[in-house]
Structure 1
Amino acid sequence: MDLKLYKPFFIKFQSLIALFILCLLISLISDKFLTVSNGWNVMRQISVNICISVGMTLVVLTAGIDLSVGSVLALCGALTAGLLKNGLAFPQADLFIGFTILGAMLVGVLAGTFLGAFNGWAITKFKVPAFIATLAMLTIARGLTLLYTQGFPISGLGDDFAYLGTGWFLSIPVPVWISGIVVLLAVILTTKTRLGRYIYAIGGNESASRLSGINISRVKIIVYAISGALAAIGGLIVTSRLDSAQPNAGSSYELDSIAAVVIGGTSLSGGKGTILGTVLGAIIIGVLNNGLVLLNVSPFWQQVVKGAVILLAVIIDKSNSKND
């Protein structure tokens, strides 16, 4: 048997094969894994990572990176919670502005969009490497979150807002619906629109894209703005599910999203990858996290395992790139 004949098959379906093997191993060790309740629990948990990872995929497809998504998630969640519970008060003008749930959520998403667009602007205007620009935003957004919350959680947001993160619609958790809509829109964007073609073109060869007349700066700013908006949506889900905006929310979310993107087959060099591949990568990360919890693995070892998986995925990606 010539294994080389099957190599393209394994490369194409490596994420799916990895998910199958992972599920098989965990189900053999834990009888709690293959249950309906645990399945919905996993899907609810990965909904946030799917939203963030979709935005991260668009960024990585342009050969960029966004390390600020976890901090943006925390800041936007805190803004939404604060406006919903306390509104805006201007004592000097004897003015108070209250916010509906929809209004507070809209402010949160707009804030995430602005922060993402600022990342894109800094990267394109001043030629700051994406790693440095988004690392700076990670620190800035985390600091603003701590300033806004004074280091204390904002809790007691009400049952109506909690429905976003804990409710069910047509027997499916609401966060799963939200992540499904995000994925659908992203698939349409990347496969059916001019912007999607530009994203792949820039990641494939930025110099050639510029010579062909593509506005590189505009596309990158839009992509980072989308990443920020999706991080904000993730922040709304997390805040709603916990009924609290935690100042340290979103820690390590950037690592989970990068892991989902790379495991899903998107090349860190840009220009190659799919949204559905990222969804599969997010499911793998979610199943891995869930399995480690069910097996009572120490949280410290969970970090070690997750880091090893990311490293392995990058090594496989580089190996496949050399063979192309």
Structure 2
Amino acid sequence: LSVNGIPYVLYGLVGVASAVAALVMVSYFGSARSDLGRDLLMPALTAAVLGGANIYGGSGSILGTALAALLVGYLQQGLQMVGIPNQVSSALSGALLVVVVMGRSLSLHREWVRATWRRLFSHRTIGAQQ
């Protein structure tokens, strides 16, 4: 097996796994609809990004993604047990995703954030004694 062929094999395996997952979902719900996975998209994306995957492409951590998936799953199940609707749970998952992406962006541009913070909040008040 050549190294150049490994991505093709992996994409093929992902395709087979997706087909099996689609068959399981269709057999569970009894019908095929285009919106069956809609409720799973936001938690899955949040878990992947929270687990360390770069939203702009690149590599991520399998262990981090697994732990993040558990965290997001427990968060959603806990909110449902309390009686919070699925829409609110999805909105909170989206808010968590936004917070994680903003935190990563700020950590990547740390020097710019420090310089801006100093420029905005280091001025002295007029009339203050020195």
TM-score range, shorter chain: 0.5 to 0.7
Q: Flag the 1:226–1:316 CA change in 2: closer, same or farther, 3 A.
A: farther
Alignment-mate amino acid for residue 245 of structure 1? S
Q: Report the counterpart of residue 30 of structure 2 in structure 1.
A: 244
Alignment-mate amino acid for residue 101 of structure 2? V
Q: Residue 38 of structure 2: SS of its match in structure 1? A: coil
CA distance in 1, matches of 2:36, 2:11: 21
Unaligned runs of 5+ in 1: 1-193, 196-213
Q: Paired residue for 2:95, among 297, 301, 308?
A: 308
TM, length-normalised to structure 1: 0.29
CA distance in 1, matches of 2:86, 2:103: 26
What is the total number of aligned residue pairs between the two structures? 108
Q: Paired residue for 1:263, among 50, 64, 70?
A: 50
Alignment of 1:68-79 (within 5 A): none
Q: Paired residue for 2:79, among 288, 292, 303?
A: 292
Identity %: 24
Instruction: Tell which structure's C-alpha radius of gyration is larger.
Output: 2
CA distance in 2, matches of 1:253, 1:274: 20
Contact 2:47 2:72 in 1 (8 A): yes
Q: Report the counterpart of residue 174 of structure 1 in structure 2.
A: none
Report Cα offsets for 1:74-107 as digits up to 9, x if no partner: xxxxxxxxxxxxxxxxxxxxxxxxxxxxxxxxxx
Unaligned runs of 5+ in 2: 111-130
Report Cα offsets for 1:240-264 as digits up to 9, x if no partner: 5x26234232124333322111010
CA distance in 2, matches of 1:289, 1:273: 23
Which structure shows the bigger proportion of residues in strand conformation? Answer: 1
Report Cα offsets for 1:209-263 as digits up to 9, x if no partner: xxxxx68xx83x55544433332232234345x2623423212433332211101
Contact 2:42 2:90 in 1 (8 A): no
TM, length-normalised to structure 2: 0.64
CA distance in 2, matches of 1:232, 1:265: 26
